[in-house]
Amino acid sequence: GAVVSQHPSWVICKSGTSVKIECRSLDFQATTMFWYRQFPKQSLMLMATSNEGSKATYEQGVEKDKFLINHASLTLSTLTVTSAHPEDSSFYICSAPRGLAGGYYEQYFGPGTRLTVT
């Protein structure tokens, strides 16, 4: 089946620094990728839709200047958390849709990246 990877799987950074998380579709091309955020014991909240070759679309309430998204190629999207603060500590998950028969898109999820800001 299709595979989506994320790197790193976990990262600890100091408050005020920036951290970049990569999401790759390993065996298919994805013009769109999705970034989710999950707080402990809570559901996944969609942060933004990453679009290859154009600007990302952010969900209401998500700071686009804080969470920079770049969809550099058809297999890579990056999320950069700028000037991170402890409240940005969370589990970040990406997904990529892959087109199947009948116009249906299956979502493939990455394993997630746990960010801890100290």
Partner 1 sequence: AQSVTQLDSQVPVFEEAPVELRCNYSSSVSVYLFWYVQYPNQGLQLLLKYLSGSTLVKGINGFEAEFNKSQTSFHLRKPSVHISDTAEYFCAVKGKGFQKLVFGTGTRLLVSP
Token pair of 84 as six digits: 């991170």
Instruction: Return the number of the residue (107 or 118) whose C-beta is nearest partner 1.
Output: 107
Half-sphere exposure of 50 (CA within 13 A, CB side): 30
Please identify which residue in 19, 21, 25, 34 interacts with partner 1, judged by CB under 8 A: 34
Write out the two tokens for 30: 């994805």
Q: Does 29 bind partner 1 (CB under 8 A)?
A: no
Beta pairing partners, 22 = 7, 78
CA 37, 110, 112, 84 torsion-angle sign: negative
Residue 107 touches partner 1, criterion: CB under 8 A: yes
Q: Contacting partner 1 (CB under 8 A), which of 83, 105, 116, 118?
A: 105
By CB under 8 A, is residue 35 in contact with partner 1? no
Select 86 or 103, whichever has its Cβ closest to partner 1.
Answer: 103
Does 51 bind partner 1 (CB under 8 A)? Our answer is no
Least spacing, CB of residue 111 vs partner 1, in Å: 4
Between CA 103 and CA 110 the distance in angstroms is 22
Closest CA to 78 of 28, 43, 113, 46: 113
Q: Which residues of the chain form contacts with partner 1 (CB under 8 A)?
A: 32, 34, 41-44, 46, 49, 91, 93, 95, 97, 103-105, 107, 109-112, 114
